[in-house]
């Protein structure tokens, strides 16, 4: 409004001076320069909220989010103060000012923030932590002020009595102060955010709730986490098997599935997948079906999509015939050890190069595990070492392809020591002499390697034969591999 008035006055003055016979060209240039500077300053000091208005019209409900039942319940309970204000007021409850969503990437933190806005019928304004950080001191602080001001303005404009401000990757702007960063802008921006949250009135309209997300909660400044700012921390973790099944059902609701597709089996095979990875899996499966001009998504499309999400697209690497045989022997060693340690664990064997891997064995966890016994850890070490052991049994030597396997086995052996499951008993691995630790790890690995040789010894002839079949067919299902294992055991009994 002030700018428009200034423009009108300037035009009137220019007309007056022109009428008086003065040269108004320098005057016009000065006005143009002042106008351009004012526009730049306004753009620099204001948070872009074009995407915020779009988010407000894009409704996301909690029913659309799968695999996070506990987190959803906790968040909905925290949001009830926006929905049931009279009841909250009678009980003397102080409304929350901030909710912090923590967890790995891709678990649905942004979706939950949008669903919170839908659940409370609030205006939704979002920003990323990186939007507040500039090389110019004071710009970030002004953007924080504008963000809160914009949230209140939009709420009044749309006739709503609450607004939710969502700040993604808040660790960028809310990192610990005094860490030697030497950047005054970071501290000023954080200080302004703290001031805004302190000054938020929890009794006036519209109410403002700050929802933030991060996967690095350890980096946040303690002042940001204290009660009265971010009152609740809600863990949005990786989904369990039931959660993965729920997500798969949601993501395949608009996709034609073949009658033989068992989503519960796919959920079991995708241990450790986030919601974003599961969405990508169903999308990649649909793309694979499109490539084949298939009318429905079949189980093989979904299983190949699992491999693609885990390791990437098939590469153009073309190993030599000798390398392919060695890779197949290596992977069969892993598969035999896996089936011997835990029957039914092998889901798929392939020697098709994907990403940095020339081949791999995808295993199915029996169930989502959070604790491991000594036997289970030793079994995992056998599986890790079995590839190199199989190579040595067939070819009499090993290759560099087992380097990652050795690293995995070494880490598992270190876990045995640190958890008090080794011959050293209960120890503090961090304060243990390096020589003692190294000797114990070598002893554990040597013992497991010996057991792995004994495990694979009866399968030498079978591995040599099956490896050539695997080279021709490139992949093998877990069911077919288990049939082969059963035949090998029957032959050894007959002999």
Q: How do residues 124-175 score in pLDDT, each as one tens digit?
A: 988 887 776 654 455 677 888 888 888 888 888 888 888 899 988 888 877 7
Span 404-429, pLDDT tens digits: 999 999 999 999 999 999 988 888 87
The values of phi and psi at residue 77, to 5°, are -65, -40
For residue 234, the cross-strand partners are 101
Interatomic CA distance for residues 181 and 167, integer angstroms: 22
Interatomic CA distance for residues 158 and 156, integer angstroms: 5
Interatomic CA distance for residues 111 and 127, integer angstroms: 14
Q: In the predicted model, what is the mean pLDDT of the chain?
A: 82
Residue 301 has pLDDT above 50, yes or no: yes
- Is residue 331 part of the annotated active site? The answer reads yes
Structural contact between residues 302 and 281, judged by C-beta atoms closer than 8 angstroms: yes
pLDDT of the residue at 55? 44
The superfamily CATH assigns to domain 321-494 is Peptidase M41 (1.20.58.760)
Residue 42 has pLDDT above 60, yes or no: no
Q: Average of pLDDT values for 465-474? A: 90
Confidence category of residue 43, pLDDT binned at 50, 70, 90: very low
Structural contact between residues 348 and 307, judged by C-beta atoms closer than 8 angstroms: yes
Structural contact between residues 134 and 185, judged by C-beta atoms closer than 8 angstroms: yes
pLDDT of the residue at 56? 43
Q: Helices 139-157 and 25-45: crossing angle, nearest 10°? A: 80
Structural contact between residues 351 and 420, judged by C-beta atoms closer than 8 angstroms: no
Structural contact between residues 110 and 213, judged by C-beta atoms closer than 8 angstroms: yes
pLDDT of the residue at 50? 40
Structural contact between residues 435 and 371, judged by C-beta atoms closer than 8 angstroms: no
pLDDT of the residue at 271? 84
Taking the model in full, what pTM does it have?
A: 0.72
Nearest residue to 476 via CA among 351, 325, 344, 292: 351
**What's the topology of domain 50-235?**
Rossmann fold (3.40.50)
pLDDT of the residue at 28? 66
pLDDT of the residue at 393? 93
Interatomic CA distance for residues 71 and 100, integer angstroms: 11
Tokens of 447: 């013992």
Span 58-117, pLDDT tens digits: 578 888 888 888 899 989 888 888 788 778 778 777 778 889 999 999 898 989 999 998
For residue 232, the cross-strand partners are 99
The values of phi and psi at residue 359, to 5°, are -175, 165
Residue 23 has pLDDT above 80, yes or no: no
Same fold, 50-235 and 241-311: no
CATH classification code of 241-311? 1.10.8.60
Among residues 185, 331, 440, 449, which one is catalytic? Answer: 331
Nearest-10 Cα torsion for 393, 396, 400, 404: 20
Span 263-295, pLDDT tens digits: 998 998 888 899 999 999 999 999 999 999 999
**What are the residue boundaries of the structural domains of the chain, listed by start?**
2-45, 50-235, 241-311, 321-494
Nearest residue to 187 via CA among 197, 198, 174: 174
Interatomic CA distance for residues 486 and 493, integer angstroms: 11
Tokens of 257: 């599935």
Interatomic CA distance for residues 392 and 435, integer angstroms: 29
């Amino acid at each position: 409004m002030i700018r428009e008035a200034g423009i009108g006055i300037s035009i009137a003055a220019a007309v007056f001076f022109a009428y008086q016979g003065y040269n108004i060209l320098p005057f016009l240039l000065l006005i143009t320069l002042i106008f351009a500077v004012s526009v730049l300053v306004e753009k620099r000091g204001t948070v872009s909220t074009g995407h915020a208005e779009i988010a407000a019209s894009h409704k996301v409900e909690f029913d659309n989010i799968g695999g996070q039942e506990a987190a959803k319940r906790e968040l909905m309970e925290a949001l009830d103060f926006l929905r049931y204000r009279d009841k909250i007021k009678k009980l003397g409850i102080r409304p929350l000012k901030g909710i912090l969503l923590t967890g790995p990437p891709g678990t649905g933190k942004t979706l939950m923030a949008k669903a919170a806005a839908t659940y409370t019928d609030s205006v939704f304004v979002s920003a990323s932590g990186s939007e507040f950080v500039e090389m110019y001191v004071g710009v970030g602080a002004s953007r924080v002020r504008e963000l809160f001001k914009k949230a209140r303005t939009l709420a009044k404009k749309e006739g709503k009595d609450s607004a939710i401000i969502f700040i993604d990757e808040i660790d960028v702007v809310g990192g610990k102060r005094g860490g030697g960063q030497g950047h005054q802008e970071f501290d000023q921006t954080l200080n302004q955010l703290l001031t805004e949250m302190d000054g938020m009135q929890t009794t006036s309209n519209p109410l403002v709730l700050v929802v933030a997300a991060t996967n690095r909660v350890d980096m946040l400044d303690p002042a940001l986490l204290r009660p009265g700012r971010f009152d609740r921390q809600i863990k949005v973790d990786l989904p369990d098997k039931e959660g993965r099944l729920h997500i798969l059902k949601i993501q395949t609701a608009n996709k034609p599935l073949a009658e033989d597709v068992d989503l519960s089996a796919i959920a079991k095979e995708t241990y450790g997948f986030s919601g974003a990875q599961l969405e990508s899996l169903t999308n990649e499966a649909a793309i694979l079906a499109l490539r084949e001009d298939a009318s429905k998504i079949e189980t093989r499309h979904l299983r190949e999509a699992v491999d693609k999400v885990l390791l990437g697209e098939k590469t153009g690497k073309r190993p030599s015939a000798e390398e392919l045989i060695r890779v197949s022997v290596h992977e069969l060693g892993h598969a035999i050890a896996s089936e011997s340690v835990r029957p039914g664990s092998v889901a798929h064997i392939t020697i098709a190069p994907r990403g940095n891997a020339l081949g791999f064995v995808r295993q199915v966890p029996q169930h989502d595990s959070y604790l491991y016994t000594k036997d289970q850890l030793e079994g995992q070490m056998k599986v890790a070492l079995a590839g190199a052991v199989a190579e040595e049994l067939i070819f009499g030597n090993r290759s560099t392809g087992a380097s990652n396997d050795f690293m995995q086995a070494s880490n598992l052996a270190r876990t045995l020591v640190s958890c008090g499951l080794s011959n050293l008993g209960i120890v503090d691995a961090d304060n243990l002499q390096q020589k003692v630790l190294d000797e114990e790890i070598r002893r554990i690995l040597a013992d497991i390697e010996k057991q792995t040789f004994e495990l694979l010894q009866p399968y030498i002839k079978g591995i040599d034969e099956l490896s050539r079949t695997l080279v021709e067919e490139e992949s093998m299902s877990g069911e077919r591999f288990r049939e082969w294992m059963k035949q090998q055991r029957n032959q050894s009994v007959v002999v």
